[in-house]
Structure 1
Amino acid sequence: MKRNVLIIGAGGVAHVAAHKCAQNNILLGDIHIASRTVTKCDAIIASIREKDSQCGPGQLKAHALDALDISATTALIRETGCQIVINAGSPFLNMAVMSACIEAGAAYLDTAIHEDPAKVCEAPPWYGNYEWKRREECSQAGVTAVLGVGFDPGVVNAYGRFALDTYFDKVDSIDIIDINAGSHGRYFATNFDPEINFREFTSTVWSWEKNQWKANKMFEHRQEWDMPVVGTHATYLTGHDELHSMSKHLGVPNIRFWMGFGEHYINVFNVLNNLGLLSEKPVRTAEGQEVVPLKVVKAILPDPASLAPTYSGKTCIGDLVKGSKDGKKQEVLVYNICDHKTCFEEVGSQAISYTAGVPVVAAAMLIADGQWDVGHMVNVEELNPAPFIELMNRMGLVTRVRDASGDRVLEPQKERASLTVEDQSDAQVLVGHFGYQQSTLAEQRMTG
């Protein structure tokens, strides 16, 4: 049983993760939040107290930390007695925080692939450039490291694994579709860190097609999808973290990621990009000052966390899986609907942060409970998705499935006729252990 959690970062995802850890601290114990700006950590703790999110007794403590300082992070993990570290900070921090976890013997979780500040849209498989090189170290130290366990990457990886194992004999394609049908009311803003957001789109867009990597240009391929609740939206083929691991582990010949963009976003993005304002390379001003254009743009755009109070509408993210079962063609959509306003009322965040923050805490709980405490490095699709989906249903992030039989809440125990007796027993234990005070939130999102 692992207890006490250290959350690295104090942005929107860290805010949600802290609230959810506090809601479940009977299992997770003390909650520590660390960032270079300790006042942001203090603000998250104040929000937890204001929302009365803490379920049981335990510490809520803020710490000032430069997470690139491996020795300082290692020392903080040891001083606080934290056995689980949630890296909800910038992807630039991944390898440093992972190193500290290996040194301190703490489980490691993150929500995005590592990034080198000097490189964008790296050659696939991207995980092979950084995280996967540390596999042996994790195994030797007996450290559980679950990579990319936000929503996308993360939940969509689990959806792909669950669909493949449950509904199909053969899968031909997985199309991951991410639609934000909400409105924040600002002229222009990004829903998460602008620097990371723009870096996803300024170079090669990689997709996995016919069992090989295909290079594309941003906004080159457009597709309209009719999705539950949010309706029909235009999306564009985009490179994304989960493709780099799902292509390796699932044995599916075609895996693509589609993200919804409005014309206004595309126009602003193209202007900024064509002017060179999205470049990660430093330039020198006439006054001799060196600046990075992308960091300047980030500095003048709204903080994504500030969008939450006025955000309205819903998100829809899911996996459209096509293949065959018993020789017949089969199509299944596994998805989630999340409401911006409901998220703000519960934890003071918008839905983009909520959908990333809930899964990483669910994963932490499964590590604490032992079910995902595997003692080595894994991507989400390498783990049993059933308890993960079941737990998120009870934490307010409800999964649904749409197929030839209709549209319904996905309850893994009922859907998986192939579950072993041992797996069913584990799932029943999970329901009993984590079922407290989550049903109302789940019911809200099932109907919302």
Structure 2
Amino acid sequence: MGKVLVIGAGGVGSVAVHKMAMNADIFSDIHLASRTKSKCDAIAVSVKERTGVDVATYAIDAEDVPALAALIKQIGPKLVVNLALPYQDLTIMDACLIAGAHYMDTANYEPKDVAKFEYHWQWAYQDRFKEAGLTALLGSGFDPGVTSVFAMWLKKHKLKTIRQLDILDCNGGDHGQAFATNFNPEINIREVTAPARHWEGGQFVETPAMANKVQFDFAEVGPKNMYMMYHEELESLAKFLPELERARFWMTFGDEYIKHLTVLQNVGMTRIDPVIYNGVEIIPLQFLKAVLPEPSTLGATTKGKTNIGDIATGEALDGSGEKTFYIKNICDHEECYAETGNQAVSYTTGVPAMIGAAMIMQDVWSGAGVFNIEQFDPDPFMDMLNKHGLPWSVEELEGPVAF
């Protein structure tokens, strides 16, 4: 039986479970758990209506290791797919070790009290997973995830070495709201307001948040302002592509988003340290999250497309000198909503989560220990992207990017 337990009932969890149900030959028994069972139940109803597949639902606090381990033992899944918050990565890994289940996530661990997302906390689990004979797959979303697989596919099929790498994440969608984030507001704003870092000359170089802006003309979206920021795949790519001279991550933001975020920052609403209000300790950013639109509700009104990909420059595999390739996926918000009831930002993370899970469920990717997605053969993952809603294309550019 292909039994899987998904933890997290946001937009990404919804997409992943819908796509698992559409692949019942791989995922024959699907279980979904979250702190709020009603969210799981709503996803289960949608999955049943769209696919006819039943999804079992549970309430669980993913930070309660004994309770979570007991639930995993009760269900007995081959794999636990962590689509909850990055704060909960380590407790879910702990529970998987206790219960004897493989582990997978889409984003690396982040402490609650500091906006710092790094892999070292999870890499430290290597020996424990190896000794338990279990696989932990880190970062099987889009970025991180697909963007890393794109780079490794280019390294396998096009480039002997990758000297320069730029990851470009463009969301050209419009949800009609004055200010809303397309994934968890707390995580989104923590990422955007953190100092930017990029890899250059064998080390990370830090610059102020949102200080580097470039306009880029994205296919099927048009010209957009993109900002250099830090994203966790830079850390793993720098480790698994030792020849990298420079690696940068860029994300697009509209002027209205920047204006609202600047005001919220200036008045202290993006703070992650506690303040006392009416005798109660609150975190301003968590309060802001509570008053902003829930990302999973934006699908019905979001129109436009996402365009996410890698531009890589290096020595050609065929010995023809230095070449530059641009590999990308373009995804339509309305098509994603029609298929799964979710917008493209959730879809572009939820589909790779399903694919990474499929790799483990079918033993296509296997091994004892903690692995980043860059460490496995990219080809079967790339094949499934084309078959399950995220087709990709690759083109040769005239030369390295000038920005």
Give 3-state SS (helix, strand or coil) of 1:200's partner.
helix
Distance in 2, matches of 1:160 and 1:187, equals: 35
Spell out, residue by residue over 1:35-61, the C-alpha distance to the aligned partner (whole angstroms, 9 max, x if none): 11100000000010121263xxxx511
2:389 aligned with 1:390, yes or no?
no
- Is 1:381–2:380 an aligned residue pair? no
Q: Distance in 2 between matches of 1:201 and 1:341?
A: 26
Quote the Cα distance in structure 2 between the aligned partners of 1:77 and 1:21: 19
Q: Using the alignment, how far apart are the partners of 2:194 and 2:376 within structure 1?
A: 31
Secondary structure class of the residue paired with 1:201: helix
Q: Please say if residues 109 and 146 of structure 1, whose CA atoms lie closer than 8 Å, have aligned partners that are also in contact.
A: yes
Q: Distance in 1 between matches of 2:250 and 2:31?
A: 36
Calculate the TM-score normalised by the size of structure 2.
0.95
Provide the C-alpha distance between the structure 2 equivalents of 1:157 and 1:378, rounded to a whole number of angstroms: 13
1:254 Cα offset (Å): 0.9
Look up the SS of the partner of 1:214 in the other structure: strand
The one-letter code sitting in structure 2 at the alignment partner of 1:291 is I
Report 1:21-420 matches (<5 A). 21-52=20-51, 54=53, 59-121=54-116, 126-128=118-120, 130-251=121-242, 252-285=244-277, 287-325=278-316, 326-403=319-396
Across the two proteins, how many residue pairs are aligned to each other? 395
Deviation at 1:132, TM superposition (A): 0.6
Q: CA contact under 8 A between 1:278 and 1:293: conserved in structure 2?
A: yes
- Are the equivalent residues in 1 in contact too, given 2:162–2:241 (CA < 8 A)? no
The residue identity in structure 1 corresponding to 2:303 is S
Q: CA contact under 8 A between 1:121 and 1:205: conserved in structure 2? A: no
2-structure distance, mates of 1:341, 1:368? 30
CA drift of 1:231 comes to 2.4
> What are the superposed Cα offsets for residues 108-150 of structure 1, whole Å, 9 maximum, x if unpaired?
111111111001135xxx211x101111111111111110110
Post-superposition offset of 1:328: 2.1
Q: Using the TM superposition, name which of 168-177 and 306-315 deviates more.
A: 168-177
Q: CA–CA distance in 1 between the matches of 2:45 and 2:13?
A: 14
State the distance in 1 between where 2:301 and 2:49 align. 19
Cα distance in structure 1, aligned partners of 2:185 and 2:156: 36
Gaps of 5+ in 1: 406-448
Does the aligned pair in 1 maintain the 2:174–2:303 contact within 8 Å? yes
SS class of match (2:119): helix
SS at match of 2:379: helix
Distance 1:284 1:311, change over 3 A: same
1:89 and 1:297 map into 2 onto residues whose CA distance is: 19
What is the deviation of 1:323?
1.6
Shift of 1:301: 0.2
Alignment partners' CA distance in 1, 2:270 and 2:397: 44
Contact 2:79-2:102 within 8 A present in 1 as well: yes
Tell me the distance in 1 between the aligned counterparts of 2:28 and 2:51: 16
Q: TM-score, normalised by structure 1?
A: 0.86
Paired AA for residue 92 in structure 2: V
**Alignment check: 8 A CA contact 1:85 1:107 kept:** yes
Is the CA contact (8 Å cut-off) linking 2:133 and 2:369 kept in structure 1?
yes
Q: Distance in 1 between matches of 2:113 and 2:340?
A: 35
3-state secondary structure, aligned to 1:310: coil
CA distance in 1, matches of 2:161, 2:170: 27
SS at match of 1:240: coil
Residues 53, 243 of structure 1: alpha-carbon distance in 2 compared, 3 angstrom cutoff: farther
Flag structure 2 segments of 5+ consecutive residues without an equivalent: 399-403
- Give secondary structure in 1 for the equivalent of 2:300: helix
SS at match of 1:183: coil
Q: Look up the match of 1:446.
A: none
> Distance between the aligned counterparts of 1:41 and 1:375, measured in 2?
31
In the aligned structure 1, how far is the partner of 2:12 from the partner of 2:267?
31
- Quick check: which one's helix share is greater? 1
- Of all paired residues, the percent bearing the same amino acid is 40
Alignment deviations for residues 407-441 of structure 1 (CA, whole Å, 9 cap, x no partner): xxxxxxxxxxxxxxxxxxxxxxxxxxxxxxxxxxx
The Cα shift of 1:404 comes to: 5.3
- Would you say the 8 A contact 2:178–2:256 is kept in 1? no
Letter in 1 for 2:207: N
Contact 1:250-1:381 at 8 Å conserved across structures: no
CA distance in 2, matches of 1:356, 1:27: 19
Distance 1:278 1:71 in 2: 33
Amino acid at match of 2:255: E
The one-letter amino acid of 1:263's match is: D
